[in-house]
Chains A and B, each alone.
Chain A
């Protein structure tokens, strides 16, 4: 394939990554923004979403579409409840002390990952996509004084991949509506702005914490359920999204949702492009270094505003 078609392919793959990354990173960012907590176990909630999707889909069986929809609803709910429980049992009891929370969530990371290894096993397992049509994309070339259309071999995508992109957009819109239009969203924003003030006004800050921690984990799980028909469920699959989500949240500015979304698209697309034209490892080297330097020289994030 030539440069042009390759670029289109990279952009499509990058958009799928960006879509899932947006959900995962927004979950992480929400937790950091409201609770001021760095959740190192975030990637494991993602992994758990994918693994549960496999379990639910294989328990229900039947038509792939029904099994998939069931997984899409049930898996994030279960993961969210588990995370809320972890918040109440562990994080609340250490008073969300920043450094202790990091240590505790590292512990939670290992506990979830290793229990999955024992129960689910070390194999990667697929979930069938509800629909999966192959879509070819035409390419135009200027030849002998006229435009010519042809179908380059290998240039194409699937209907499911497009669905993932649109589903992520829909979920983000719903989340934005929830945060900006509902009372629960208002309480969340109040807690984010000034936790002590919110508490003195009688807002149930404890419940907000558990809810936000659960919601953050559920968003990661949702992203994972969407991706599991493309990738497979595996007990170690949480590592990479954790790193990428960290990268996105920091480049976008800690706790800023619009910044996180912009950064997810930026990182998703550039990762797709660098991976296809150079190597995935090089893409990771560049993005991890970018994050380190952003934190050192521009702590408010590339897209964030400086704090007053």
Chain B
């Protein structure tokens, strides 16, 4: 009981602190934190499949890209209103993750990673192939007039921060509730010992598929939110780099911890930002951090805290 209170208290406190920072932070950090929160959505979605269910995907850029392009093309090509276009993005990522999940989950381990990577690469090439509509690598800007949702101007940096915080809070609390539910516990059981879970009578495939769908829809939401909040849609966001980044954020923050994805994203965003002031080869830090993580810190930041200080962390 006390643990339950501690856990919910901690996560709500994190949301409140980020809310308070809105009034304190200087412009530069304010903008960076808003971006971090949107990307952390993506990381939380990824963590659901990778951290809790143990599915190593290298294709989540596809879900992020599907969300982003469904939203963007929904506005520019289909003439949807921004609010509807985000719903449209959620539906599209639901469909995409169901199809990809149903196919890819017939494999496991390294094969799963390659299958998801190949689907994501195919998706990226499709975006490039239909360059006349998607404008390929160049991407397109979402006109400011289309960035009004329920009278709120998303191009305004204050609104952007608050909307990002709202989405972040919703997804964080949903994730927390899910991983503490019996559904989440079964996912962990599957990750730890798939055969045993099957013997106990759980339909492993169906659980894994649902995990991929939750993960894909959250990633799609992240893509749509990123596109509409920052007003740009481009093929880079569907490239393999955006499949590697959520993996990196989750590993750094701590896989299978609720706060880990945010911590990892925050840390990495600042690290890459600082590095890009020094050198154009700022992705070097991505490589170094990945190698160091595998060598010295398998658990990531929150994972180490969980192991050493607070074993009650979810």
Contacts and interface: CB of A to CB of B under 8 A. Distances in A.
A65 interface: no
Interface stretch (A4-12, A95-103, A138-146, A191-199): A95-103
B283 A113 contact: yes
A295 B283 CA distance: 31
A284 to B, nearest CB: 5
A110 B284 contact: yes
Contacts of A107: 286-294
Interface in B242-276: 244, 247, 251
Given A38-B110, A100-B298, A117-B280, A111 B291 contact: yes
B129 A285 contact: yes
Interface stretch (B11-19, B40-48, B120-128, B218-226): B120-128
A77 to B, nearest CB: 24
B109 interface: yes
Contacts of B247: 103, 106
B129 A104 contact: no
Q: How large is the interface on A (under 10, 10 to 19, 20 to 34, 35 or more residues)?
A: 35 or more
A115 B251 contact: no
Contacts of B292: 107
A306 interface: no
A184 interface: no
A57 B284 CA distance: 27
B287 A108 contact: yes
Nearest to A98: B110
Contact of A296 (B115, B290, B294): B115
User: For the complex, would chain A's binding face be called helix, strand, loop or mixed by DSSP majority?
Assistant: helix
Contact of B121 (A101, A112, A243): A243
A73 interface: no
A282 B121 CA distance: 12
Contacts of A117: 280-281
User: For the complex, would chain B's binding face be called helix, strand, loop or mixed by DSSP majority?
Assistant: helix
B4 interface: no
B159 interface: no
Nearest to A293: B103
Interface residues of B, number: 42
Interface in B225-253: 240, 244, 247, 251
Interface in A250-280: 250, 279
Nearest to B282: A114
Nearest to A99: B56
B224 to A, nearest CB: 24
B107 A299 contact: yes
Contact of B295 (A90, A122, A247): A90
Contact of B288 (A98, A101, A111, A285): A111
Nearest to A36: B110
A281 B128 contact: yes
Interface of B: 56, 58, 103-104, 106-107, 109-111, 113-115, 117-119, 121-122, 125-126, 128-129, 240, 244, 247, 251, 279-284, 286-295, 298
Given A114-B287, A117-B280, A250-B114, 12 more contacts: A99-B56, A103-B251, A103-B294, A111-B288, A117-B281, A239-B240, A282-B129, A288-B121, A291-B118, A292-B103, A292-B122, A299-B107
